[in-house]
A and B are shown apart, each in its own frame.
Chain A
Amino acid sequence: MLGQICNWKVSDLGWKVDMNDQEGNFAGTVRWVHRGTKKGVCSIGGDSGAPIYTVRSDGAVTAKGIHSGSDANPDGTERSTDCVSYFTDIFDVNNAFGEKIAKWNFS
């Protein structure tokens, strides 16, 4: 998905989530992910790895993590109503990739 999807409400922290493949079979477990919800346009396949961030009142951007997965209808349709997103905390991202991952290139 191009552009930004805003106004996620992050309600649950540090979840352990089982991920399925497209056939509904267990594909693996992700740990310590956060869960955000919203209505409207949802994330789609290809959005994994996208930056999750907040924009502060002074205009600065705080990196919060990277997008990992989402809830969807089993056939992948009608994802644009009730959205659920899971993202990996920036702390774990930095541990995995190094501190440089959080740098923002404005040039």
Chain B
Amino acid sequence: MPIAIFKKPGVVLPLVLLLIFAVLLPTAHVRKPHWQWIGYVTPSPDGRTLTAKLMFGEPKADGTFCEQVTDMEVRESASQVAIGIQVLNTCAPLVSWGRTTTTDIGYPFDVNLHLRAPLTGRTVVDKETGQPIEIAQPSDRS
């Protein structure tokens, strides 16, 4: 009988814990990559490379970032270049609940994106939001 299994010692507690986990799972945050906000881009002198400026969290004790770039996307048309940089926070727990409070101190991180053709007058937009991304000239930022 199926009921008989509940009478075996050591079975009920794991089953209850499993049930609780199953109920709570839909409300959990499962670690996954996300498309990162891009502050601005700086084109190379030949216009074929865009250096995107990202803001990461505080580096770990060994000087490396928790964030890792997992994917990049560049879509070019005659009038615009849509870009995206996907990032995974490797320090985040695999599964978590609730929220955490952090400072919003940002640490700059550069990612190079290669274009098929020079930028020459085309606008650069965020591929996720469609919002324009500022194009800085190398002399604008130090």
A joins B in a complex: yes
A-B pairs, top 9 by smallest CB distance, nearest first, are A46-B106, A46-B55, A75-B92, A45-B106, A48-B104, A74-B96, A77-B34, A69-B103, A47-B104
Chain A: number of interface residues, binned into ranges:
20 to 34
Minimum distance in angstroms from B124 CB to a CB of chain A: 13
Query: Which residues of A, 50-107, contact B by the 8 Å Cβ criterion?
Result: 67-78, 84, 86
Known A1-B37, A2-B134, A74-B29: A45·B104 in contact at CB below 8 Å: yes
22 contacts between A and B (CB under 8 A): A20-B100, A20-B101, A21-B58, A22-B57, A27-B58, A45-B55, A47-B106, A48-B104, A69-B103, A72-B99, A72-B100, A73-B100, A74-B96, A75-B29, A75-B92, A75-B93, A76-B34, A76-B57, A76-B89, A77-B34, A78-B29, A86-B101
What total count of A-B pairs have CB within 8 Å? 107
Known A22-B92, A74-B96, A77-B32: A45·B56 in contact at CB below 8 Å: yes
B93's nearest neighbour on chain A, judged by CB, is: A74
A74-B92, A77-B34 given; 19 more Cβ-contact pairs under 8 Å: A1-B37, A19-B101, A19-B103, A21-B102, A22-B91, A24-B92, A24-B96, A24-B100, A27-B58, A44-B106, A46-B105, A46-B106, A47-B104, A48-B104, A67-B104, A70-B104, A72-B99, A73-B99, A75-B31
